[in-house]
Amino acid sequence: MGIAIRPAERALQALWTVMSFGRTATFCTMAHMPTGLRERKKVHVREQLTEAATRLFETHGFDLVTVDQIADAAMVSPRTFFRYFGSKEAVLFADQDEMLVKLRAAIAAEPSGSSPLDVLHAVVIALARDYAEHREEHLRRSRMAQSGAAINEYTLTVVKPRWEETIAEALAERLGVDVDVDIRPRLFAGVALAVMGAVGPVWMASGGKADVDALLARGFEVLSAAGLSGLVDIR
């Protein structure tokens, strides 16, 4: 039995689908394209599967689309599909691993004197800048994310925990502490995700017209004004 999702939580999961989809101008810089024929073929098949799945999800709704249908639309076998993706949910987060690597690198690259809250503020704001340039695409993906309960469950049980773990580990490295001993890295990671979650329903309610950058900045400003930044000095 799946997790029951309330409307506000659906908006939150939609924002998560967008922000972790992997197509962000700041984080997803141009990578070296595969030069070998075999590697180029793999990239091509992966793109075919992603594009076919997206078309089907938009047309029929996520829950009604099967892996067999995706494979058929991409002109490959279901067995080939599972060589590239573990599930149809995973197709929506095709670049997740790459995104998390770059998220960790972005956190590490912030100035050494910055507090954890300031670091996360800068990184999340950078992540959100793609919204202004690709609003319609993000809205389309957000609506797609709300078309199936399975996406919401996958986001809650797989995607969000991976983001939280990555952020916490990266902050622990900056603080020079053990993430399994010191509570602060996980606390700040949770705070960052909470800010993103608070922005989701507002952005969706505006039809994607609200300034995500400004909303996120406001969220971090409120936390900073509440004195949360000072937690870094608490031993």
CATH number of the domain bearing residue 63: 1.10.10.60
For 167, the token pair is 């952020």
Q: Is residue 75 part of a domain?
A: yes
- Summarize pLDDT for 186-230 with one digit per residue, the tens: 999 999 888 888 887 787 788 777 888 888 888 888 887 776 655
pLDDT of 132 above 60: no
- In a shared domain, residues 195 and 116: yes
31 — pLDDT class (breaks 50, 70, 90): very low
- Residue 152: other Cβ atoms inside 10 A: 24
What is the C-alpha separation between 218 and 220, in angstroms, rounded?
5
What is the C-alpha separation between 218 and 117, in angstroms, rounded?
13
- In a shared domain, residues 121 and 87: no
Q: Which residues span the domain enclosing 146?
A: 96-228
% of the chain surpassing 90 pLDDT: 31
From the number of C-beta atoms within 10 Å of its C-beta (0-12, 13-18, 19+), residue 56 rates as: buried
Q: Is residue 166 part of a domain?
A: yes
pTM of the predicted model as reported, rounded to 2 decimal places: 0.75
